[in-house]
Amino acid sequence: MLLPSLGDGITLLDVEGGRGVPILQSLVLDHLLLHDGPAFWVDANGHATTTTLAQIAPSQRLLNRIHVARGFTAYQHYGAVCNLPTAVNKSIQMSTTDAGRAGRGEPSRDEDTSPHTPALIVAPAVDVQYRADDTLGETHARTLQARTLARLATYVDGYDIPVLVTRNERNEFTEPVATVADHHLECEQTRMGPRVVGEGFETLVYPVDDGAYYQTTFAYWQQLLAARATQVGVEPTTPAPSTPTPEGVGTGVTADGETVAA
């Protein structure tokens, strides 16, 4: 109810007014809590900062399931994306070995001691290295970014998992990121906290310490009152063109004695 679920396919998260590191990390951790397997994170622009990850993670052992690679140039970033299958196979081999050492003990879900395909692939700021690399011309930068996106799309088909991406800027250069995305999440910063809107999801409430909720949009109250009206048998009202009011319903009399509709 509070965070959107990540469906199979490429999900583009656009955050208004900043990089949105906490919301990105929250989506990743929330997905790992609900699904088995590790997350493979190809980082750029410092999104995989361990400081905030450690602060918001409900379990430190959950962090063991996040495998991070960093590319500091366009070619390094592209190489890390291309090497993901190798990293996945290595993780499976290591988890198989750990499971064998554990013997009959029941492995912890957080420790990920049994072999799994990836639960999630994360590629934040997927455009930043290609636009910033001085060794690439514009044509080559676009080509290399397109190859990166194509690789990520093949992992969606090969592993049947979500791929979560963000972009550093919204402009013509990053239009291919939006084009390849199967799902799109928009996040804006409000006074109450981040508000996320996507297909079939909209942040309407925020929890507080005592378990109550704060509303963040009028849509919450509209939906609540419409549901209550249906429950008690009252047809919810909707805006309609102005029509003459019948005599005797909502009428009044002016000082001159004229009857008017209220």
Asked if the structure places residue 240 within a domain, the reply is no
Asked if the structure places residue 103 within a domain, the reply is no
Asked if the structure places residue 126 within a domain, the reply is yes
Q: What is the CATH number of the domain that holds 25?
A: 3.40.50.300
DSSP 63-91: GGGEEEEE-SSHHHHHHHHHTHHHHHHHH
119 and 36 Cβ atoms separated by less than 8 Å: yes
Contacts of 98 (CB under 8 A, 6+ apart): 107, 111, 113
The C-alpha angle with vertex 168 and arms to 167 and 171, in degrees rounded to 5, equals 80
Closest by CA to 85, choosing from 168, 149, 154, is: 154
Asked if the structure places residue 144 within a domain, the reply is yes
Q: How far is CA 59 from the centre of its chain?
A: 20
Within 10 angstroms of residue 197's Cβ, the number of other Cβ atoms is 14
Asked if the structure places residue 107 within a domain, the reply is no
Asked if the structure places residue 109 within a domain, the reply is no
Based on the structure, what is the number of domains in the chain? 1
209, two tokens? 């310490």
Name the residue range of residue 37's domain: 9-98+115-232
Within 10 angstroms of residue 47's Cβ, the number of other Cβ atoms is 24
Asked if the structure places residue 54 within a domain, the reply is yes
pLDDT, one tens digit for every residue, the chain (262 residues): 678 999 999 999 999 988 889 999 999 999 999 999 999 999 998 899 888 888 888 888 889 999 999 989 999 999 999 999 999 998 877 766 655 555 545 444 444 444 468 999 999 999 999 998 888 889 999 999 999 999 999 999 999 999 999 999 999 999 999 999 999 999 998 877 888 999 889 888 887 767 677 777 777 777 777 888 888 887 766 554 444 444 444 444 444 555 544 4
Asked if the structure places residue 245 within a domain, the reply is no
- Please give the single-letter amino acid code of residue 20: G
pLDDT of residue 229: 82
In Å, how far are 10, 237, 239, 240, 256 from 248, measured between CA atoms?
59, 21, 22, 21, 18
Closest by CA to 2, choosing from 253, 205, 257, 149, is: 205
pTM (two decimals): 0.78
Q: How far is CA 27 from the centre of its chain?
A: 5
Closest by CA to 41, choosing from 166, 197, 142, 187, is: 166
Alpha helices in 103-242 (DSSP H): 128-132, 138-159, 175-180, 218-231
Q: How far is CA 262 from the centre of its chain?
A: 48
